């Protein structure tokens, strides 16, 4: 120590900016490395979790295998601020870079242009592996005014979505070092998301693939047009899953902002496929009915997005709806109401977006054959009641359309007229959405399904014959007040599809056919 | 068993005591009557003789499986304990306990004039009936005596009806009530409940609106999911049981209850039932008692059509409408309007005049031939599905059609 000149003393402390995520929210983290001539040790402090602790081993091996020196000194890495919990392996790269700066093996070349931030996981051989949540990290750094970011090459495409942020991909530690020494050069080109969106068909599956089921298709068109949630009831093999799968294809085309939002959530969940770093289609999520409540709505020790958030701006398909855990079903209520999920833990509270269209499907009875002309149902009465009563009123209140999906016999399938393509249906849906957005401007609501009862009174004008029909239905069909509200909402969407500003009796009558029938059939 | 008196008790106390004993041991009355040949002879026994009879092994009132009749061992044990407790109690104490009840609960003994005469046709009649209905004893007694002067018809069937069965039960329940016939049923799930609800909702000037015969205590709402209907029957009709207060439901009590239903009615209408079903048992009892048996014919090949179609084969009468029932039991039909509300065809012009919609008429015509789904209707009528969906809703609102299983729409006939 005594032999070292004074200016080298100053080099022993180095800083690299990085970012920690809690949910989609970024928090600034500064990685500081201090090297002193003392008994050899390498410690990481600043509330690191197990994965961060292990990063010492990866950093040591990556440095040595990238032909840098790992001197026998006392090295302390601090992740500031010390009261924020740091998780995951994304601090490997900034720790290694801070270490190399602190030991003087690397010089910062940014020259007053502002320092670069870094995130990335290291392999033992010095490769830089992709991390989860790179898009959210990049957005957060940009919002803080950071100039540029050195990050794994595999994350470059998503980070490059963020405008006005220089993105420097690095496949190895050596490349990352080169970027730091050059102060950043050869930034990844911005991604032309619009071109990518235009080039991607909205869905591989087309509505015209399904023969027959015109009644159900019409109802699904209405559902998508007004962003209404749907419950389909029908025997196994009626085509409920096939129909649901085709819904993203008739939803309005994805906008740029929507694609970024979806990518952000999928990135944080670590679900972006390696080859396709961007999500350019509306998601279709179909979790199995054995899924846990945290799996469906989000949660876990480190709150991760659940299926409701992964289905954000797309479709969440729950087949065998009554078979899901009750806790999972009840957990759906808040996201369906608010369009987002908040998960609270002792140290953090995380919010994920969850603006999804719920498409639920169920069999008419546990055995699946009630009402099937070909087979007889064998369910005992109590099982049937049990099956139907698993769905709570408050949850069903958030589902505007109820459909019966009958099984189409092969001869009808052959006889059926050719069906419309998804593109034709989508065009009508878009026109209906445009009317809704214009009407609801300034209300904070963008589609009919989300109208409150105040909006209903204001925006759903019924012609006198329609009012009379609603009153009569209210008495005859014993609609509840809520069910009547849902009928009006759906009628509003039907009128929008027809391009009408006033809801006619015919619109209302059609809407009634999708109403909640309570226990019917079966007393 | 010493506390039980050796001298003869009053006829009413004796009836209630024996009836209470029979609530806890299957077939007890039948065996007693066989032992004493006539009811009169039985009622002249001293309590001591009954105690001795009950204790006699083998024949002695003891069922082969010891008070059994199904149920878990714990349930059988509990029934046996109740039986012994009542036996020790003796007639007077038993009567006063049975009468220590809220004002709307009444006990009617076989020996009383208020006891329904129809039940005396049974070989093993209930020795007493535990009845509730209305706020006070006077109302219950008024309704009971009305039952003697009013024609009664039992409507029974499966607990899991198809929508067709429900529609027929609803039609019959409401139509019979409007025609002045009291509907008797068992307040079970399914056909029973539909028919009784329809009878209450017919708002006919009948008192009682309907009679429910239970297989548990008359103060026990079983099944629980029918608790709401139970309360409505209690308010405007009669709830009757041969089992004493608070007796829980057990499988052997339902066939016993069925014989009471069969005996109470002038006839029994069976709406859907499997080959071996409680409804079939009821119809069998009715036939044995010389009551009229009618069946709503079922679709061939369905499980729920077995009981009615088999009985029709055995000579039961066909029931397609309320008028069929009235004709068979010999009640004058009050004419159209009172018993029915006119056919769908009759209402058609009014509806079309109201709405001027050709699609509604086309859909209605197609539905007159078969029950169809929206897609099938669209294909038959050459209409877009949106129009068909609106048309079927119009029909539903007017009460002319309804959606049934499998997304089909069916016309309702009255």
pLDDT number for residue B259: 94
What residues of chain B have any CB closer than 8 angstroms to a CB in chain A? 159-161, 163, 166, 189-190, 193-194, 197, 225, 302-303, 355, 373-376, 378-379, 385-394, 396-399, 402-408
Contacts of B375 in chain A (CB under 8 A): 212-215, 406, 408, 412
Q: Does A494 touch chain B (CB under 8 A)?
A: yes
**Contact with chain B for residue A513, Cβ under 8 A:** yes
A373 at interface of B, judged by CB pairs closer than 8 A: yes
Contact B403 A521 (CB under 8 A): yes
Q: What stretches of A119-167 show up as alpha helix (H) in DSSP?
A: 134-143, 156-159
Q: Which candidate in A385, A401, A513 is best for mutational testing of the B interface (most B CBs within 10 A)? A: A513
Alpha-carbon span A437 to A443, nearest angstrom:
10
Distance CA B276, CA B258 (A): 14
Query: Chain B partners of A506 at a C-beta cutoff of 8 Å?
Result: 387, 390
Region A227-249: mean pLDDT is 93
Residue A502: Cβ within 10 Å count: 11
Best residue in A509, A515, A517 for a mutation probing chain B (most B CBs within 10 Å): A509
- Structure-model confidence comparison of residues B186 and B134, the more confident one: B186
Q: Is the pLDDT of residue A244 over 60?
A: yes
B373 closest CB neighbour out of A215, A385, A476: A215
Could you tell me if B317 and B295 are in contact, meaning their C-beta atoms sit under 8 angstroms apart? yes
3-state secondary structure of A51: helix
- Using pLDDT thresholds of 50, 70 and 90, give the confidence band for residue A203: confident
Task: For residue A522, give the chain B residue with the closest CA.
Answer: B163
Nearest CA in chain A to B359: A506
Backbone φ and ψ for B347, nearest 5 degrees, come out as -85, -15
Put simply, whether A410 touches B (Cβ < 8 Å) is no
Please tell me which residue, B203 or A18, carries the higher pLDDT value.
Answer: A18
DSSP string of A434-476, one letter each residue: HHHHHHTTTTT--SGGG--HHHHHHH--B-HHHHHHHHHHHHH
For tokens 């007017």, the residue is: B398
Q: How confident is the model over B298-318, as pLDDT tens digits? A: 988 888 999 999 999 999 999
Weakest-pLDDT range from A128-142, A364-378, A450-464, B226-240: A364-378
Q: Which residues of B touch A477 (CB under 8 A)?
A: 396-397
Q: Is B100 helix (H, G, I), strand (E, B) or coil?
A: coil
Q: Which residues pair with A352 in a beta bridge?
A: A341
Contacts of B102 (CB under 8 A, 6+ apart): none
CB contact under 8 A, A404 and B406: yes
Q: Is residue A249 within 8 Å of residue A207, measured between CB atoms?
A: yes
| Burial track A412-428 (b if 16+ CB lie within 10 A, e otherwise) | beeebeebbebeebbeb
Q: B405, B410, B412: which to substitute to probe chain A, counting the most A Cβ within 10 Å?
A: B405
Q: What is the percentage of chain A residues whose pLDDT exceeds 70?
A: 95
Asked if A371's CB is within 8 angstroms of B404's CB, the reply is: yes
Report the pLDDT value the prediction gives residue A6, as an integer from 0 to 100. 43
Query: Which residues make beta-bridge pairs with B294?
Result: B269, B317
Across the interface, do A404 and B385 touch by the CB < 8 Å criterion? no
Chain B residues whose beta carbon lies within 8 Å of the beta carbon of residue A475: none
A13-22 and A25-36: which strand pairing? antiparallel
Cβ–Cβ < 8 Å for A133, A267: yes
Q: What is the pLDDT of residues B44-76, one digit of tens each?
A: 888 888 888 888 876 444 544 444 456 788 888
Give the model's confidence band at B218: pLDDT under 50 very low, under 70 low, under 90 confident, else very high. very high
Distance of CA A319 to the CA centre of its chain: 19
B409/chain A closest Cα distance in angstroms: 11
B-contacting residues in A 294-323 (Cβ below 8 Å):
none
Range A306-322 average pLDDT: 95
CA distance A393 to A396: 5
Taking CB atoms and an 8 Å limit, are B389 and A218 in contact across chains? yes
pLDDT band at residue A499 using 50, 70 and 90 as cut-offs: very high
Per DSSP, helices labelled H in A357-463 are 381-389, 393-396, 410-415, 422-439, 453-459
Residues 6+ apart with CB under 8 A from A225: A428, A429, A432, A433, A493, A496, A497
Residue contact B375–A212, C-beta within 8 A:
yes
Q: Taking 70 as the threshold, does the pLDDT of residue B5 lie above it?
A: no
Residue A442 token pair: 């300034």
CB A390 within 8 A of CB A195: no
Q: Which two three-digit tokens encode residue B124? A: 């093993």
- Average model confidence (pLDDT) for chain A? 89
């Amino acid at each position: 120590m005594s032999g070292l000149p004074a200016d080298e003393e100053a080099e022993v402390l180095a800083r690299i900016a990085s970012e920690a995520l809690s949910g989609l929210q970024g928090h600034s983290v500064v990685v500081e490395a201090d090297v002193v001539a003392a008994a050899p040790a390498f410690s990481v402090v600043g509330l690191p979790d197990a994965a961060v602790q292990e990063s010492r081993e990866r950093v040591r091996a990556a440095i040595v295998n990238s032909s840098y020196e790992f001197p026998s000194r006392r090295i302390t890495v601090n992740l500031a601020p010390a009261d924020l919990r740091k998780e995951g392996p994304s601090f490997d790269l900034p720790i290694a870079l801070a270490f190399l700066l602190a030991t003087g093996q690397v010089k910062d070349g940014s020259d007053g242009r502002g320092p670069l931030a870094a995130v990335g996981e290291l392999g033992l051989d010095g490769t830089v592996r992709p991390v989860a949540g790179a898009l959210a990290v990049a957005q957060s750094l940009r919002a803080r005014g950071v100039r540029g970011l050195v990050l794994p090459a595999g994350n470059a495409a998503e980070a490059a979505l963020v405008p006005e942020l220089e993105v420097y991909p690095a496949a190895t530690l050596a490349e990352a070092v080169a970027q730091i020494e050059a102060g950043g050069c050869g930034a990844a080109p911005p991604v032309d998301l619009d071109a990518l969106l235009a080039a991607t068909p909205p869905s591989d599956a087309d509505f015209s693939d399904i023969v027959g089921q015109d009644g159900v298709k019409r109802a699904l068109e209405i559902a998508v047009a007004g962003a209404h949630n749907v419950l389909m009831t029908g025997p196994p093999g009626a085509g409920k899953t096939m129909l649901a799968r085709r819904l993203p294809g008739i939803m309005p085309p994805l906008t740029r902002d929507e694609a970024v939002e979806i990518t952000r959530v999928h990135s944080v969940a670590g679900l972006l496929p390696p080859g396709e770093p961007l999500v350019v289609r509306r998601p279709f999520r179909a979790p199995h009915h054995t899924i846990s409540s945290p799996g469906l709505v989000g949660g876990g020790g480190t709150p991760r997005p659940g299926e409701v958030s992964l289905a954000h701006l797309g479709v969440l398909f729950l087949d065998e709806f009554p078979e899901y855990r009750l806790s999972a079903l009840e957990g759906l209520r808040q996201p369906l109401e608010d369009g987002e999920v908040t998960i609270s833990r002792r140290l953090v509270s995380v919010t994920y977006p969850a603006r999804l269209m719920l498409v639920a499907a169920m069999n008419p009875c546990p055995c699946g054959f009630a009402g099937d002309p070909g087979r007889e149902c064998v369910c005992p009465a109590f099982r049937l009641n049990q099956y139907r009563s698993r769905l709570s009123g408050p949850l069903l209140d958030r589902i505007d359309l109820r459909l019966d999906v009958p099984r189409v016999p092969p001869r009808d399938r052959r006889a059926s007229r050719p069906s419309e393509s998804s593109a034709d249906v989508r065009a009508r849906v878009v026109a209906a959405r445009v009317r809704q957005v214009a009407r609801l401007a300034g209300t904070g609501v963008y589609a009919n399904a989300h109208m409150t009862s105040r909006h209903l009174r204001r925006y759903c004008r019924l012609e006198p014959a329609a009012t009379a029909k609603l009153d009569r239905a209210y008495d005859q069909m014993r609609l509840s007040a809520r069910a009547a509200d849902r009928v009006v909402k759906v009628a509003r969407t039907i009128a929008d599809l027809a391009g009408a500003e006033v809801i006619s009796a015919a619109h209302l009558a059609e809407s009634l056919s999708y109403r909640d029938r309570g226990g019917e059939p079966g007393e | 068993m010493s506390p039980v008196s050796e001298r003869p008790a009053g006829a009413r106390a004796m009836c209630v005591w024996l009836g209470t004993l029979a609530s806890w041991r299957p077939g007890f009355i039948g065996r007693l009557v066989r032992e004493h040949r006539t009811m009169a002879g039985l009622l002249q026994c001293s309590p001591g003789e009954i105690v001795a009879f009950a204790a006699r092994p083998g024949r002695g009132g003891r069922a082969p499986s010891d008070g059994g009749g199904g149920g878990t061992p714990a349930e059988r044990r509990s029934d046996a304990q109740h039986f012994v407790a009542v036996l020790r109690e003796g007639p007077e104490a038993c009567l006063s306990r049975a009468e220590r009840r809220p004002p709307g609960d009444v006990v009617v003994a076989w020996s009383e004039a208020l006891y329904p005469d129809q039940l005396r046709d049974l070989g093993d009649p209930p020795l007493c009936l535990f009845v509730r209905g209305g706020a006070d004893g006077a109302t219950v007694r008024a309704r009971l005596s009305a039952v003697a002067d009013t024609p009664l018809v039992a409507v029974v069937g499966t607990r899991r009806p198809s929508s067709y069965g429900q529609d027929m039960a609803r039609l019959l329940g409401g139509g019979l009530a409007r025609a002045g016939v009291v509907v008797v049923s068992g307040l079970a799930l399914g056909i029973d409940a539909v028919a009784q609800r329809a009878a209450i909702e017919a708002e006919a000037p009948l008192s009682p609106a309907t009679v429910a015969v239970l297989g548990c205590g008359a103060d026990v709402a079983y099944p629980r999911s029918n608790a709401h209907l139970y309360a409505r029957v209690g308010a405007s009709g009669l709830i009757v049981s041969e089992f004493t207060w608070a007796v829980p439901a057990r499988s052997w009590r339902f066939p016993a209850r069925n014989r009471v239903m069969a005996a109470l009615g002038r006839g029994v209408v069976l709406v859907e039932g499997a080959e071996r079903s409680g409804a079939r048992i009821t119809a069998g009892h009715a036939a044995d008692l010389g009551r009229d048996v009618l069946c709503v014919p079922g679709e061939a090949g369905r499980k729920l059509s077995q009981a009615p179609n088999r009985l029709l084969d055995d000579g039961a009468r066909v029931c397609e409408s309320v008028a069929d029932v009235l004709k068979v039991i010999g009640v004058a039909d009050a004419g159209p309007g009172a018993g029915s509300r006119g056919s769908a065809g009759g209402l058609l012009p009014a509806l079309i005049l109201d709405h001027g919609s050709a699609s509604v008429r086309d859909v209605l015509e197609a539905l007159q031939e078969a029950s169809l789904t929206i897609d099938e209707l669209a294909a038959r009528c050459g209409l877009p599905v949106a129009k068909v969906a609106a048309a079927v809703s119009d029909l539903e609102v007017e009460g002319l059609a309804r959606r049934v299983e499998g997304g089909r729409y069916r016309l309702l006939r009255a």
